[in-house]
Amino acid sequence: MAVENAVLTVADVQKSFGGLRALSEIDLQIERGKTHAIIGPNGAGKSTLLNVCVGRIPPDEGAVVFKGQVITGKKPHEINQMGIARVFQTPEIFADLTVLQNVMVPAYAKRDGAVKFTLFHGMDKDTDIRLEAEQILMDLGLADKRHDDADSMSRGDKRRLELAMCLVQHPDLLLLDEPTAGMSRLDTNRTIDLLKSIKERGMTKVIIEHDMHVVFSLADKVSVLAQGRIIAEGTPDEVRANPKVQEAYLGGAH
């Protein structure tokens, strides 16, 4: 079952909270350049799994390996510096900064590392950062809003901004936690288009989602999580045809 060019490998991970088994015997290989969706009914352990993947929650057993390095127990900024960017379920942006600055901040982190003091250096000299940020904003259709306060934007725009903040770093792996949660059908479709468009950049993506429409439009591979276990894995069509999945998820939830 080993995948040749796996970017992220989750090996035999177990996690319990108190007496509750949140994750058991999780094995996952995220293939380079592919979009991998993790689906499952509410409470299946999707968010826990994502948090384990970014090192936020240490697993009781097993390990998470990214590009040959164990990332379990590392701090969020170290994991980001290794090349993992994350989009949160509710947009986490810098509300007090302008849209452009919101994108420039991660660009600096990518260029200068986790700590670099540039106290007396005008930002206008960093044209490379600026151009990069402007380009991403243009790609995501936010260019005309770049001098607005990030806080003044609509929720959908904030989510696009958060995506821009991740894309500007050209991460090796992009984690998306329910990118369409709480969106209207129109906004959902727009987001799907957006994510499809960045697929062309060859970025590896992991999407946590329970909207099947989103999953089947985007994913190359789907893992189905139920009660803390992976019950099925395969292409969207394979998973759709799997009776176990229909029983656990499709039948139960819809």
* Chain residues in the site for another protein (CB under 8 A): 75-77, 80-81, 85-86, 88, 92-98, 100-101, 104-106, 108-110, 112-115, 117-124, 126-127, 130-131, 134-135, 138-141, 143-144, 146-149, 152, 165, 169, 190, 193-194, 196-197, 200
Nearer to another protein, 81 or 246 (CB): 81
Nearer to another protein, 14 or 81 (CB): 81
- Minimum CB separation from another protein for residue 100, in Å? 7
Nearer to another protein, 80 or 204 (CB): 80
- Minimum CB separation from another protein for residue 5, in Å? 24
Nearer to another protein, 61 or 151 (CB): 151
Question: Residue 164 in contact with residue 141, Cβ under 8 Å?
Answer: no
- Minimum CB separation from another protein for residue 85, in Å? 8
- Minimum CB separation from another protein for residue 151, in Å? 9
